[in-house]
Amino acid sequence: MTGAAGPVAIPPILQPHVAALRGAAHREPLGLYLHVPFCKDRCTYCSFVTTRDVQLQSAVVARLVAEIRVWGEALGRPAVDTLYLGGGTPSLLRAEELAALTAALREAFDLGPLVEATLEANPGTVDLAWLEGARALGWDRVSVGTQTLDDELLARLGRIHGAAQALDALELCRRAGFQRRSGDLMVGIPGQDLDRVLGDARTLVGTGLEHLSIYLLDLDKACPLKAEVEAGRLALPSEDEVADVFEALQVELPRLGLLPYEISNYGRPGAESRHNQRYWQLRPYLGLGVSAASQLGTWRWTETSVLPAWLEGRGETELTELDAAESLAEIPLLGLRMHAGVDWEGLRAEGRRRNLQPLVDSWDEQLRVFGAQGLVTFEGPRVRLTDRGRLLSNAVFQIFV
Ligand code: SF4
């Protein structure tokens, strides 16, 4: 493995806060996210930070290993209870690169409390030996980028695999010993209809996977698919059609045994993603790698999204420290995404403790209006979105922005 291309150190903007970050990192176990920024080809809708330049792969892995060590030492080898290897395409890592990253994680952090270690895999890049190797290293959950089981739509999305390969990948994961398998289902693809999505959902759940993430195709940023739509060569489904699909999935997936636990995520009981839940429950996490985001104490930061700058250690890290009102607003803003909702009485008490009672009162008033419209429901001390509220959640979330 080659050496990292630039010095590896805690970003200067974070250095004054290291002692406080270390304190926050020892209050409860962290989640750790690693970003692997490689893909074999670029999907037509993608806005993630990825590259096809595999020449950079060993330098990126070396730098990630170095970052793991630097952060582990700076934070005093804190406990970690969830790991997530995302991207990009982590399944493009060579077996020895995955082993090097895993070994560095074990040395630099206390993985004693680990309850979940997820890696993302693209169906076009997995084989049994690689998956067995990953499983032997301790990775115990795999998220397979299935998206849709329609070959024509997969080609439109620029995916490097067909539907049969996606189903084969799920089976290979099972044979490699991954009992915890998740798939993705994308909604809103030009040319996709309700029957197609429901059929895919049934087929995917029929493979025995325990978890499904439902994504709405997002064309906010410039990408080839957006250009096709803007040029009138492809048409997106209407908002009503998309809402119908989400509504139908809310009925069909529980019937298949996958229960909603977050706006976009369904799982068999006990199969919820522990790592992803920490984002909505405001539990701390450290993200390493280009464009990775972190949350520790009241600090939020994001690494540069410019790969050469990150590799050379000269990227800008964006840091935000939330004030009392902002961090209070995060609780309902993220917590309402969860099916279990938010402990509203607890939030009221926290508002009083922070002298922010008028703010909570104003949220309460607005939520009651949404309650009258059937979008939220107050149940005992908790408030949560209704099925209809989940379809119109952005309107509710505006209260807290
Ligand atoms: S596989 Fe994922 S990260 Fe890679 S180009 Fe496609 S959408 Fe983007």
Q: Is there a single domain that holds both residue 283 and residue 349? A: no
Task: Indicate the number of domains in the chain.
Answer: 2
Report the pLDDT value the prediction gives residue 6, as an integer from 0 to 100: 67
* Average pLDDT in the chain: 96
89 ligand 1 Cβ < 6 A:
yes
Domain membership flag for residue 297: no
The answer as to whether 365 is a domain residue is yes
Domain identity same for 60 and 131: yes
Q: Is 88 in the pocket of ligand 1 (CB under 6 A)?
A: yes
pLDDT (mean) for 265-285: 97
Do 138 and 279 belong to one domain?
yes
In the predicted model, is pLDDT for residue 2 greater than 50? Answer: no
169 CB near ligand 1 (under 6 Å)? no
Residue 393 lies in a domain: yes
Q: Is the pLDDT of residue 3 over 50?
A: no
Closest ligand 1 atom to the C-alpha of 47? 8
- Statement to judge: residues 281 and 340 lie in one domain: no
Q: CATH number of the domain that 96 lies in?
A: 3.20.20.70
Atom of ligand 1 nearest to the CA of 41: 5
| CA 146 to ligand 1 center in whole angstroms | 11
Query: What is the structure's pLDDT at 247?
Result: 95
Q: Are residues 273 and 369 in the same domain?
A: no
- Whether 249 shows a pLDDT value over 60: the answer reads yes
Comparing CA positions, the residue from 199, 197, 203, 213 lying closest to residue 84 is 213
Evaluate whether residue 2 is within a structural domain: no
Residue 142: inside a domain: yes
Going from the Cα of 42 to the center of ligand 1, the distance in angstroms, rounded, reads 6
Residue 311 inside a domain? The answer is: no
Tell me the HSE value of 236 on the side-chain side, using a 13 A CA sphere.
Answer: 21
- Which of 2-16, 107-121, 192-206, 219-233 is the least confident region? 2-16
Q: Which residues span the domain enclosing 168?
A: 12-287
Regarding the beta carbon of 46 and ligand 1, being less than 6 Å apart is answered: yes
Cα-Cα-Cα-Cα dihedral sign, residues 343, 345, 348, 354:
negative
pLDDT at position 5 is 60
Question: Quick one: pLDDT band at residue 49, thresholds 50, 70, 90?
Answer: confident
273 lines ligand 1 (CB under 6 A): no
CB of 157 closer than 6 angstroms to any ligand 1 atom: no
Instruction: Answer whether residue 242 shows pLDDT above 60.
Output: yes
Which residue's CA is the closest to the ligand 1 atom numbered 6? 43
Output the domain CATH number for residue 396.
Answer: 1.10.10.920
pLDDT band at residue 1 using 50, 70 and 90 as cut-offs: very low
Ligand 1 and 82: CB distance under 6 A: no
- Has residue 306 been placed in a domain? no
Mean pLDDT of 288-306: 96
pLDDT tens-digit map of 316-361: 999 999 999 999 999 999 999 999 999 999 999 999 999 999 999 9
Cβ(122) – ligand 1 distance below 6 Å: yes
Q: Which of 265, 287, 309 is the last residue of a domain?
A: 287
Distances from the Cα of 228 to the Cαs of 148, 157, 219, 225, 234, in angstroms? 19, 11, 11, 5, 6
pLDDT tens digits along 51-73: 999 899 999 999 999 999 999 99
